[in-house]
Amino acid sequence: MEKKWVYSFAEGDGKNKQLLGGKGANLCELTQSGIRVPPGFVITTEACLSYLNDPHRTLPHDLMEQVKTHLRSVEEAMHRRFGEKKKPLLVSVRSGSAMSMPGMMDTILNLGLNQDTLEGLIHDTGNERFCYDAYRRFIQLFGKVALGVPDELFDEAFEQIKKQAQVTQDIDLSARDLKDICKKFLQVVERYTAKPFPHDPNEQLEIAIKAVFNSWMGKRAVDYRREFKITPEMANGTAVNIVAMVFGNMSNNSATGVGFTRDPGTGENVIFGEYLVNAQGEDVVAGIRTPKPLAAMADEMPGIFKELMELRNSLESHFKEVQDFEFTIEEGVLYCLQTRNGKMNATAMVRTSVEMVHEGLIDKNQALLRIKPDMLEQLLFPRLDPHTDMQPVAKGLAASPGGASGIAIFDADRAEKMGHNGHKVILVREETKPEDIHGFFASQGILTSRGGKTSHAAVVARGMGKPCVAGAEGITVDVKLRQAIIGEVRISEGDIITIDGSTGAVYLGEVPLIEAEFSSDLVTLLSWADEKARLLVMANADTPADAKRALKFGAMGIGLCRTERMFNDPARLPIVIDMIIADTKEEREKALDKLLPIQREDFKNIFSIMAPRPVTIRLLDPPIHEFLPQEQQLIDEIDILRNLRKNLRGLRVLSDTVSFMYQNDPAHPKVLTPADPELLDAVILKKEMMLSKVRSLHEVNPMLGHRGVRLGLTFPEIYSMQIRAILEAAAECRKEGIDVHPEIMIPQVCTAQELNRVKEWVAEIHKQVEDAYGLKISCSFGSMLEVVRACMRAENLAEEAEFFSFGTNDLTQATFSFSREDAENKFLPMYNMNHILQDNPFEVLDVKGVGKLMELAVQWGRTTRPGMKVGICGEHGGHPASIEFCHQIGLTYVSCSSPRVPIARLAAAHAAIKSR
C-alpha cells in the first residue's frame, strides 16, 4: 500500500496535531463539526520530514499524485478548476505545525494565478481591480517565500507607483495602478532570480509546498523553537494546508479579520478582534491600515455580525476553550479560516477559568488544569503606580498589560545587544515583524506606532507576558534617525520611557512600579486549588516583612525561617562579630546576651503575623566566618589604618595651622579634626583580632566544613540562645492570647546523636521557660535532611525528629558531589548541551537520583513514625515539576519563596488532579 500523505478536511483526525499540525487538525475538526470552512486538505508533517531528510530534497514520489487527487475534490466542491482559464480555482498554501508558532513560517495566498487564469477571473467576477489586487499579492508572497526575493524590492516598487498615482492608501489604488504594480513585481522577481516567473499553476503549487516545508528549517522558526523550548517530541515538521481561496478583497461587502472569543487581555466575555473591509488576510496583522474593532461590525454589517457571534458560540462550545480565530467574508458569506486555543495573559486565563466554570462550560478540574502554574508569575509582575502625577505624552492601544520602563531602542538587533549588556530596553518600532523576535526577548516592553491589538507586536508580547502599547498614532517613529516625535516632544534613542500596556499610556521618563494585587478571580481559583491539593504550601520567610508577604501570597505557614539573615542585619552584625571573635565562653555569652532580646523580638513578630499557622525556624546554619569580612579586605584596612596612625602627627600640625590661619575667614570655616589616636588603636586592634579569627576559621571546603549542627555542638551557647529566644517569644505570644506553633529545625544533621544532644537542650530550656512564664508552650522538634547519611539513617533519625524537611540544594550538591557554583560556572552548561545531564539539577529536581533518596527517606522515616510530617524547603519547592514529584512520594508540604507560593498552590492542585 502507498503511504497516505494527504488528508481532506472531511476525513482528517482533528485530534492528531502531530500529523496534521494544529491548523490542519483544527480545520478538519471545524469542517466535521459543520462550521463553514473553504474546502481543502492537509499534507502531513511526515511528508515534510521525509522531504527535509532527503539529501536531494525531493518530495515523496507519490505525494504530488495524492495532492492532485485531492485537488480534484476541491475543484468539484468549488465548481472551479485549478489552472484553467474558465472559472479558475485559486488556493492558499499554508504552513502549520503541532505547536503554534505565529508568523514564524510561511503561507502563500492566491496561488494558481497567471496571465490566463487572471483573465478568466476578470471575466468571472467582472472586477478588474480585485483581480489585479490578488495577482500582485500572489507575485509578492510567492516571490518572497518561494523564490527568496527581498521584501524591500517589492516595497520600493509599490511606493513608486503609489507616488505616481498620488495616493497614500493601498485601498485608493485603481485597477490600472494595480496592473502596473503586477508588471513591476514580475520584473522585480525576474531581475532578482534571473529566471522567468513560474506561470504554470502546477509548478507553482509544487514550489510552494517545498517552500513551506523549508520554512520549518528557516532561521526564524529554528530560533523560535529554541527560545520556547519546542522539542521534536512537541512538534516535528510542518504540515501544509491547501485551501480554496475565498476573497475578503472582492468589494466593500467583503472583509477579513481576526478574533478572540473573549478578550485575551482581560478575559472579559466579549468578542474581541479586528477587521478590515475589502482586504486580504495579512493586511490586518501587518498593520497596513489600522483595522476596526469587531464591535463596529454590529453597525457596519449587522447581518454578518450576528453570524460572527454564532460562530463564536459554536467555537467555544465545541472546543471548551477560548478560541483565537481567523475569518474572511466574501460577498456577505462568512468563512472560518483557522482556529486555535487563544493565547492569553495570566489575568485573562484566570478570569476565563473562573467564568467558564460559572457558565457550566468546564468543571473546576479543567479550570485549574488549563492554567500552567508558572504562568501566574505574570500576575505577580509589577504595574505602574496609579498615583503617579507624571503625565503621559502619548496614548496608544493597551495591547498587552503591565508596566515597563527602559531606554528607547529603535531596532531589534541593538535592543538585543543592549539587553544582553544588562540594560532595560523598550523596543520602539513603527510596526514589528517576525524577524524582530530576538528584540522582544531582550526588551522589557514594546511600543509601536502602527497596527492594532492583533498586530504582530501585540500578539507576540501577550504570548511572552510583556507589556506592549501598539498603534500609538500620535507618535511618529523614524527608525533611520532613531527618534520618535510626539507633538512637541522628541524621544531619542537612549531616552528613558515608560509604557503602560494596561492603559496604552506612554510616558517620558521612569514611572515607579508597584506590586500587583490579587484579583478576586485569582483568589477564587486558588481556593479551588487548595480544595483539590493534598500538599500544603508554606513559604520561606526570614523577617516580619517577609512573613507579611508570605501571608499575602497565601502561604499556609513558614516552612523555613533562616536565622542568619537576622544576624546579618547591619545593626546587629557588630554584636555577632563580638561573639565570633570572643576567646572565652564568658565573652561569647556577653555578646549572646545582647542578641537574645533582639532575636526574641524578631520571632515574636513573625509568630504573631503568622498565627495560628506553623513557623519552622532553622537554627544557625552557615559557617561563622561568613559574618566576617574577607581576609584581604581586613589586611588592606589594617594597612590604611596603620599608615593613618603614623601620619597622625603631620595631620595634627596641618589641622592646627589651618585653624590658626583661617580662623577669621568665614569663607573657610572647615577645620580638620585629626582622628583620636586611642580610638584608632582600638579599631586597629579589633581588626587584627578579626583577621586572626578569619585565618583560624579558614576552611578548605566551607560548605562541608564547620557549620550547621556541628557548629551548634561546638558552641552550645549559640544554639541555646536561639532556642531560648524562640521559646520565650512563643511564651510571650501565648501570654497575649496568640495561638503560636513554633517548630525548631536543626540543619546539616547526619546522625541521631547530634539531634539527641540538641533535643536535650531544647527540653531543658523548654521547662525553664514554661516555669518562668507559668504556662504551657507547644513546640515541635525536627531535622533537615540535606546530608546523604541522614537520608540513609532516616529510620533512626525519626526517633528523635518529629518532622523532616529536605534541603534539596545541599542534598543535590552532596548526591552529585558537585559544588553548585563550580558546577554552574564550569561544566554544567556543557553537560546539558551534550545531553550528559538533561537539566541543571539545581533548578530541576533530579528525580532519579536525589528523588530516589528522598523517596527512601520518607518511607524509612515513616516506618518509625507513621504519618510523619515531611516537607521540602529547597528552591525546588517552588517548581511545578518538582512539586508533582513531591506529591507522588507523599510529602506533607512544600516550602518556597513567597512569590512562588501561588504557583506552588496551583501546581499542588495539578499534581493531585493528575494522580487521580
Binding site for Mg ion (CB under 5 A): 326, 338, 786, 807, 810
Residue nearer to Mg ion on the CB measure, 95 or 352? 95
Residue nearer to ligand ADP on the CB measure, 92 or 448? 92
Q: Which does 810 bind (CB under 5 to 8 A by kind): ligand ADP, Mg ion, none?
A: Mg ion
Please report how close the Cβ of residue 560 comes to Mg ion at its closest, in angstroms: 9
Q: Is 810 annotated as a binding residue?
A: yes
Beta strand segments in 182-261, E = 238-244, 255-260
| Binding status of residue 432 toward ligand ADP by CB under 6 A | no
| Binding status of residue 107 toward ligand ADP by CB under 6 A | yes
| Binding status of residue 103 toward ligand ADP by CB under 6 A | yes
Cα-to-chain-centroid distance, residue 143 = 36
* Cell numbers found for residue 372: 500552567
Q: Please, is 192 exposed, middle or buried when counting C-beta atoms within 10 Å of its C-beta (0-12, 13-18, 19+)?
A: middle
Among 31, 256, 454, 455, binds ligand ADP (CB under 6 A): 256
Q: Are 573 and 627 in contact (CB under 8 A)?
A: yes
Report, in angstroms and rounded to the nearest whole number, the Rg of the chain calculated over CA atoms.
35
Catalytic status, residue 79: no
Task: State which of positions 467-526 bind ligand ADP (CB under 6 A).
Answer: none
By Cβ distance, which residue is nearest to ligand ADP? 281
Pick from 913, 869, 866, 914: which is nearest to 894 by CA? 869
Q: How far apart are CA 794 and CA 641, in angstroms?
A: 53
Q: Which does 455 bind (CB under 5 to 8 A by kind): Mg ion, ligand ADP, none?
A: none
Q: Are 779 and 730 in contact (CB under 8 A)?
A: yes
**With CB under 6 A as the contact rule, which of the stretches 103-111, 142-150, 177-185, 898-906 interacts with ligand ADP?**
103-111
| Binding status of residue 288 toward ligand ADP by CB under 6 A | no
Give yes or no for a cis peptide into 544 (omega within 30° of 0).
Answer: no
Pick from 510, 530, 513, 514: which is nearest to 522 by CA? 530
* Eight-state DSSP code of residue 391: P
Among 338, 813, 892, 898, binds ligand ADP (CB under 6 A): 338
**With CB under 6 A as the contact rule, which of the stretches 239-247, 374-382, 486-494, 596-604 interacts with ligand ADP?**
239-247
Pick from 613, 604, 621: which is nearest to 550 by CA? 613
* Eight-state DSSP code of residue 222: H
Task: State which of positions 292-331 bind ligand ADP (CB under 6 A).
Answer: 326, 328
Q: Is 310 annotated as a binding residue?
A: no
Dihedral (CA of 171, 174, 180, 183) sign:
positive
* Cell numbers found for residue 649: 602627627
Q: Are 85 and 117 in contact (CB under 8 A)?
A: yes
Please report how close the Cβ of residue 253 comes to ligand ADP at its closest, in angstroms: 15
Residue nearer to Mg ion on the CB measure, 800 or 810? 810
* Cell numbers found for residue 480: 533611520
Q: Say how many CA atoms lie within 13 Å of 36 toward its Cβ.
A: 12
Question: Which residue of the set 48, 468, 779, 873 is catalytic?
Answer: 873
Please report how close the Cβ of residue 326 comes to ligand ADP at its closest, in angstroms: 4
Please report how close the Cβ of residue 334 comes to ligand ADP at its closest, in angstroms: 12
Q: Which does 94 bind (CB under 5 to 8 A by kind): Mg ion, ligand ADP, none?
A: ligand ADP
The size of the interface with ligand ADP (CB under 6 A), counted in residues, is 17
Please report how close the Cβ of residue 23 comes to ligand ADP at its closest, in angstroms: 6
Q: How far apart are CA 838 and CA 856, in angstroms?
A: 23
Residue nearer to Mg ion on the CB measure, 228 or 685? 228
Catalytic status, residue 48: no
Q: How far apart are CA 445 and CA 690, in angstroms?
A: 48
Residue nearer to Mg ion on the CB measure, 338 or 347? 338
Question: Which residue of the set 456, 766, 879, 887 is catalytic?
Answer: 456
Residue nearer to ligand ADP on the CB measure, 304 or 337? 337
Question: What are the residues whose beta carbons fall under 8 Å from the beta carbon of 430, sequence distance 6 or more?
Answer: 287, 448, 449, 450, 477, 479
User: In degrees rounded to 5, what are phi and psi of residue 742?
Assistant: -75, 150
**With CB under 6 A as the contact rule, which of the stretches 238-246, 592-600, 739-747, 748-756 interacts with ligand ADP?**
238-246
Residue nearer to Mg ion on the CB measure, 256 or 892? 256
Q: Are 294 and 302 in contact (CB under 8 A)?
A: no
* Catalytic residue IDs: 456, 873
For the annotated binding site for Mg(2+), the residues are 786, 810
For the annotated binding site, the residues are 786, 810
Enumerate binding residues for ligand ADP (CB under 6 A).
Answer: 38, 92, 94, 103, 107, 109, 243-246, 256, 281-282, 326, 328, 337-338
